[in-house]
Amino acid sequence: MPGRTWAGTTLDDRKAQRRGQLVAAGLELLGTEGSAGTSVRAVCRHAKLTERYFYESFTDREELVAAVYEHVGEQARQALVDAVRDAPSPLLRAENAVRAFVELIVDDPRKGRVLLLAPLTDPALTRRGLHLLPVFAALVGEQLTHGDETDRQMTAIGLVGALSNVFIAYLDGSLKVSRERLVAHCVKLVLGADDH
C-alpha cells in the first residue's frame, strides 16, 4: 500500500517526483533540441532515470510529449488569466496579456518554443490535433466585435499567427528589438485586429 514509506517518502511521492523530472527533461529537450532530439532515451538520460521509470509514468513517447505540451500550455493559460483579471480597460487587458506572454517566453524561451513550434513540428502533437493555439484564438475571437462568426474566426487565426511569428522571430534572434517595443507592437496588433 502507498502508506508504506521508503527513504522517508511514500512510493507515490517518488513516482510523482520522477514523473516531474521526466516532464522537466522533456521540456528542456523539446525546447532546445526540438522534436527529433526528444527521444525516450535522451529524456531518461537527462532526467537521470532509466527507461523503466519512463514507462512507469507514460505508456508512450507520445504521452510524454503531450504531457510536456499541456504542462506548458497550462502555465501560459494561467499567466494569461492572471494578467487579464481586474484589468479595467480593453487596452490594459491587451497590454497585460501581451506583457505576461512575453515575460513567460523571455524568461524561458524553451517554453515559447514548445508552445509555438512543437505543435507544428512534432508528429505526436500534430497527429492528435493537439493545438492550444486554436483555443487561444477562440478566446481572442470572443473579444472581437466586427463581422460575423466566420470573420471573427479568420481574424483570430490571423492575429494568433501574426503574434506567433513575431515571437518566433524574436526568440531566434532574427528580430532585434527591445522587449518594450516588442510588447508595444504586439499590443498594437491585438488592438488593431478588430477595426476593419
- For DNA, the binding residues (CB under 7 A) are 4-8, 11, 14-15, 37, 39-42, 49-55, 59-62
Confirm or reject binding of residue 78 to a second copy (CB under 8 A): no
Q: Is residue 10 involved in binding a second copy (CB under 8 A)?
A: no
Phi, psi of 32, deg, nearest 5? -125, -60
Are the beta carbons of 79 and 111 closer than 8 angstroms? no
**From the list a second copy, DNA, none, partner contacted by residue 4 (C-beta under 5 to 8 A by kind):** DNA
Nearest residue (CB) to DNA, 1 versus 150: 1
61 binds, among DNA, a second copy, none (CB under 5 to 8 A by kind): DNA
| Cα distances (Å, whole numbers) of residue 42 to 22, 26, 28, 35, 88 | 10, 9, 11, 11, 47
Number of C-beta neighbours around residue 26 at 10 A:
27
In terms of CB distance, is 4 or 176 closer to a second copy?
A: 176
The length of the chain in residues reads 196
C-beta closer to a second copy: residue 84 or 175: 175
Which of a second copy, DNA, none lies near 85, with the C-beta cut-off 5 to 8 A by kind?
none
Is residue 90 within the footprint of a second copy (CB under 8 A)?
Answer: no
**Grid coordinates in use for 142?**
470572443
Those residues whose C-beta lies under 8 Å from the C-beta of residue 37, and which sit 6 or more positions away, are: 29
Distance CA 137, CA 156 (A): 5
User: Whole-angstrom Cα distance, residue 117 to residue 137?
Assistant: 16
Q: Which of residues 31-70 bind a second copy (CB under 8 A)?
A: 34-36
Using CB under 8 A, pick the residue from 3, 8, 145, 174 that binds a second copy: 174
Judged by beta carbon distances under 5 to 8 A according to partner kind, the member of DNA, a second copy, none in contact with residue 7 is: DNA
Q: Which is nearer to a second copy, 46 or 113 (CB)?
A: 113
Angle between helix 61-84 and 109-116 (nearest 10) = 110
DSSP three-state, residue 4: coil
* Binding site residues, a second copy, CB under 8 A: 34-36, 117, 120-121, 123, 126, 134, 150-151, 153-155, 157-166, 168-169, 174-175, 177, 181-182, 185, 188-189, 192, 196
